[in-house]
Amino acid sequence: MSEPVNSTEVKSPSYDLSKFQLKRILTNNSVRKSISLLGTFPDLGTDDAIVVFEKNAYRESDVATASSEESPKKPSYFTADLKVDTEFINNIYGSFQVVPTRNLCSVKSTVIYPATEKHIEKYSVSQKYLIRETPDLYQRITLPYLTSSQFSLEWVYNILEHKQETERIVYEDKDPKTGFILLPDLKWDGRNVETLYLLGIVHKRDIKSLRDLNGSHLDLLRNVRQASKDAISKLYGINPNQLRMYFHYQPSFYHLHVHINPVRNDAPGIWCEKSHMLDTVINNLELMPDYYQRATLPFVLYEGNKLLDLYEQELPIRALTKASDDKELPDTDSLGVAPPEGFSDEEPEDRQCKRIKLGSPETKEAESAVQACA
């Protein structure tokens, strides 16, 4: 468990990002235009550091053009500063590499220093597996593991105790039972409302995750939902019905927090295997106050995570079951099952053809589909 923060003074390591020495690339995501690097800051010692670079999304002002002689008020691509390299022009098509004004070239950078093995694992590419966690598996395997091995919550307590990121707080309700702090997530560049990403961190310290939630927390959850919507609408002008509010399961940090971003933006980590909508959680608890103590909750584990090894001792997770690999789809005709609606007007050959396509996807295609979803 992480230790409570007693001192009022918070020490932050100081490093010179330009002196980073690369050991290896952990991930290079061409879709998100981000790269995670493992290395060191030799001036500071041999501790590992992780540096993440992510190209910023466009703001509408970045492409504003001046309507008259005057230049756009905010930095824009379309100024005399734009450096243009022509690759080719062919008929009506042109291809260029452009370098805009300095202000528009910034890249969001995140540093974790010193980085632990667990951080390195989190930022590395690896195989992923789905675990169906029953309440019993949670008690016997997940809970003892997360109690003994979890990321420090010091950064969370620093926020709750106003020792760090104080000036970034967007809204606070100080009530110890139903209160919370709303502030920008580390992942948000803070520049572009389109990619807004806020965190609602509850003041209560005894709720590790979704699993601990019960009916007695409904007032807290409803307060987080309503007060966050009001604050975001007032501050950022976003319609409350355009906000996605959700929990991660499993989270990386076991102190209850809600992720909030606009539904029109595909924020990182919104996959169905990881996210649980706040609205659904509230409704489940209204219907059944001990829902999350009784539910089987799926979650993803990464290769290299010790929890995966613990689960593997109990269930065959990595092994491919030969039987399911070789299994053929049952022939509905021989089983005397009527063909599904929509197939009934087709010739028998067409039907057979469709069934083969559905039953035997090309291995490569299937693999890439799995990877694309991962």
**Nearest distance from C-beta of residue 263 to ligand M7G, angstroms:** 17
For residue 44, what are its two tokens? 């500071």
113 near ligand M7G (CB under 6 A): no
Residue 269 binds ligand M7G (CB under 6 A)? yes
Instruction: List all residues 6 or more positions away from 80 whose beta carbon is below 8 Å from its beta carbon.
Output: none
> Is 271 marked as a binding-site residue?
no
| Rounded Cα gap, residues 268 and 108, in angstroms | 14
User: Which token pair is 1?
Assistant: 């468990």
Residue with Cβ nearer ligand M7G (64 or 111): 111
Binding letters toward ligand M7G, positions 129-158, x by CB under 6 A: --------------------------x---
Minimum distance of ligand M7G from residue 205's CB (angstroms): 15
The nearest distance, CB 368 to ligand M7G, in angstroms, is 25
CB-based contact 70:58 (threshold 8 Å): no
- If one asks whether residue 276 binds ligand M7G (CB under 6 A), the answer comes out as no
Which of residues 51, 131, 137, 199 is near ligand M7G by CB under 6 A?
199
Residue 254, annotated as binding a ligand: yes
Q: 255: annotated binding-site residue?
A: yes
User: Which stretch of DSSP H or E encloses residue 276?
Assistant: strand 275-277
Please give the residues from 237 up to 256 whose contact with ligand M7G meets the rule CB under 6 A. Answer: 248, 251-253
Stretch that binds ligand M7G, among 37-45, 177-185, 323-331, 344-352 (CB under 6 A): 177-185
Cβ proximity to ligand M7G, 111 vs 310, nearer residue? 111
Tell me the longest C-alpha to C-alpha distance in the chain. Answer: 78
* DSSP letters for 284-350: HHHH-TTHHHH--EEEEEETT-HHHHHHHHHS--SSPPHHHHHPPPP-TTTTTPPPPTTSTTS-HHH
Q: Is 257 a catalytic residue?
A: yes
**DSSP per-residue codes, 33-101:** TEEEEEEE-TTT-S-EEEEEEEEPPPPGGGG---SSSSPPSS--SSSTT-EEEEEEEETTEEEEEEE--
Of 104 and 119, the one with the shorter C-beta distance to ligand M7G is: 119
165 touches ligand M7G (CB under 6 A):
yes
Instruction: Tell me how far, at minimum, the Cβ of 62 lies from ligand M7G, in Å.
Output: 24
Concatenating the DSSP letter of every residue in 221-245 gives HHHHHHHHHHHHHHHH---GGGEEE
Active site residues: 257
**Contact residues for ligand M7G, defined by CB under 6 A:** 155, 165, 183-187, 199, 248, 251-253, 259, 269
Binding-site sequence positions for substrate: 155, 165, 185, 187, 248-259
